Amino acid sequence: MTTQTSYEGVSPFAAGLRSRCPRCGEGHLFKGFLTVADHCDSCGLSYDFADSGDGPAILIMFPVGTIVVLLWLITDAMFHLPAVVHLMLWLPAVVIFSLLLLRPFKGVLIAMQYASHGGKRPPANGGDA
């Protein structure tokens, strides 16, 4: 007698932002800060399909860069700070914002990849599998 568990209703965005398994929404997706685990602790899904590449870094550069440049311009207009002070403020802000967003963005991309391909690696030639 086999028991089948239904995994319907797991949002790729919710699972990815929480760094959880894209199939069950329970198991851990990462075993380190950005290292993808081999499989889900809860449902056993193999994460062999996961290949986010440079996607998270690209998607983070645009909002972080925009926010930091806007904050730089606003503080410069209001306080007329020297360039060195701006560098001391905004370079660490870029690093901190990027590190805070990198893991959730990578999780969402992996969960969306699972949702669109059902846990199978997409074909290399771009054709239908």
Instruction: Give me the percent of the chain exceeding a pLDDT of 90.
Output: 74
| Secondary structure of the chain as H, E, C letters | CCCCCCCCCCCHHHHHHCCECCCCCCCECECCCCCECCECCCCCCEHHHCCCCCHHHHHHHHHHHHHHHHHHHHHHHHHCCCHHHHHHHHHHHHHHHHHHHHHHHHHHHHHHHHHHHCCCCCCCCCCCC
- Which contacts qualify for 65-68: CB closer than 8 Å, 24 or more apart? 65/94, 67/97, 68/93, 68/94, 68/97
In a domain, 64, yes or no: yes
Range of the domain at 60: 12-117
pTM: 0.81
Q: Is 72 exposed, middle or buried (0-12, 13-18, 19+ CB in 10 A)?
A: middle
Confidence of residue 3 (pLDDT cuts 50, 70, 90): very low
In a domain, 74, yes or no: yes
In a domain, 4, yes or no: no
In a domain, 129, yes or no: no
In a domain, 109, yes or no: yes
> pLDDT (tens digit, 9 = 90+) per residue, 55-104?
999 999 999 999 999 999 999 999 999 999 999 999 999 999 999 999 99
What per-residue confidence (pLDDT) applies to 90?
96
What is the number of structural domains in the chain? 1
In a domain, 3, yes or no: no
Q: Tokens 């990027």 appear where?
A: 98
